[in-house]
Amino acid sequence: FGLLTGAIREDTTFHPGDWRSGTMGMSSYSRLFAPRKRGENLQRVERLRVIAERLGTELAPLALRWVIEQRGVTAAIAGSRKSAHVRSNAAAGDLQLDAKTLQEIDAIFS
């Protein structure tokens, strides 16, 4: 479960072998999941959730569609452990984002 799926909360804990626990020395941890950054990133997710609700979709397909729409991106890698996640991710293929919505999401992550 990734940050942009909405499954991670402020109190979510990770197994010590999971890079998101901060025990593996990966630079992505300090940018995404370190205590001082997690709250900021969860606020971004909540702003994204508002857009998803407005569009009648879930967070995961919205996030994937936004990634795919980025200049120079030709593919997005989405991990899925459950068939429901696969179906949710596949919905990104049918999702259409207009320029205004793309700009709105860009502003969340800039």
Q: What is the DSSP string of 56-104?
A: T--HHHHHHHHHHTSTT--------SSHHHHHHHHGGGT----HHHHHH
pLDDT tens-place string over residues 31-83: 777 777 888 888 999 999 999 999 999 999 999 999 999 999 988 888 788 88
Name the pTM for this structure.
Answer: 0.79
Who wins on pLDDT, 82 or 101?
Answer: 101
Helix (H) or strand (E) holding 38: helix 35-55
pLDDT tens-place string over residues 22-43: 888 777 777 777 777 888 888 9
Dihedral sign, Cα of residue 37, residue 43, residue 44, residue 49: positive
